[in-house]
Amino acid sequence: MRYMENLKNLKSLSDNVSKTHENFVVSEINDSCLRLAVNEGEFPWHYHSNSDELFVVLEGELTIEFHDRRLITLKPQDIFLVHKRMTHRTRAKGRTVNLCFEKTESDTIFVE
Q: Which of 107, 67, 72, 112 is nearest to 91 (CA)?
A: 72
Query: Which run of H or of E encompasses 10?
Result: helix 10-15
**Average confidence (pLDDT) over 31-41:** 97
Predicted confidence at residue 5, as pLDDT, reads 78
Predicted confidence at residue 76, as pLDDT, reads 98
Predicted confidence at residue 1, as pLDDT, reads 56
Contact, 51 vs 103, CB < 8 A?
yes
The domain 39-98 is placed in CATH, from the list 3.40.50.2000, 3.30.300.20, 3.40.640.10, 2.60.120.10, at 2.60.120.10
111: left (phi over 0), alpha (psi -120 to 50) or beta: beta
pLDDT band at 4 (very low <50, low <70, confident <90, very high): confident
What percentage of the chain reaches a pLDDT higher than 90? 90
Mean per-residue pLDDT of the chain: 95
pLDDT in tens, 62-111: 999 999 989 999 999 999 999 999 999 999 989 999 999 999 999 999 99
Q: Where are the domains of the chain?
A: 39-98
Q: Which of 57, 98, 63 is nearest to 77 (CA)?
A: 57
- pTM, to two decimals: 0.92
